[in-house]
Structure 1
C-alpha cells in the first residue's frame, strides 16, 4: 500500500461511478423479442395442449395396453412399451385425467 492510497481512498470514486451509472442508464423493459419462429412455435404449443393431446395420448395408451396384453414381449421390449405407456399417461395427465375431477386450474403442459 502506498502513501497516496492511504491519504486518498478510492472507494468514493467507485461509489460515485456506480451511482452515476445507475442514474444514467435507461431502463430495459421486458418485452417480446419478436423472433420469426415464436409465432409458429406458439401455434404448435396451443395445438398440442388442446384436443390433439387427448387424442394422441388415448391412442398411445390403447396401443401400449394392447401390446402389453396380447404381445409376446419380454425383456427390453416390454420395458420400452412400459416407458411409452408411462410417458403417454404423463403427457395426458393435465388435459385428460384432471377433467374427471372437474379441476384444471394450475395445471400447465
Structure 2
C-alpha cells in the first residue's frame, strides 16, 4: 500500500492509499524452457529452498516472525466467547 503520494521513474504517480503490486512475470520474464522442469533438476527459483541453494536468512526470518508474533500476543488477552462450549480434551500418553 502506498502511504504517501510519490512519482515513480517510469512516470507513474500512485496516490496514498492505493495498492501496488509487481507481477512475477515482470520480474522473471524468461522464455519457457520445458527442460527446466525435467525430473532430477533442483528447484533453484524457490525461495527458502532446501539444499545448497537455500536462503541464508531463513532461520533469522523465521525467528524474527516468531518474535513479532510473541510480542504482539503480549498486548492482547485471548479468550473464548461465553456462548461457546469448551470441549474436554483427554491426553493419552503412549510409551514406546
- What TM-score, normalized by structure 1, do the two folds share? 0.22
Greater RCO (Cα-Cα under 8 Å, separation 6 or more) = 1
For the pair shown, the structure with the greater C-alpha radius of gyration is: 1
Higher share of residues assigned helix = 1
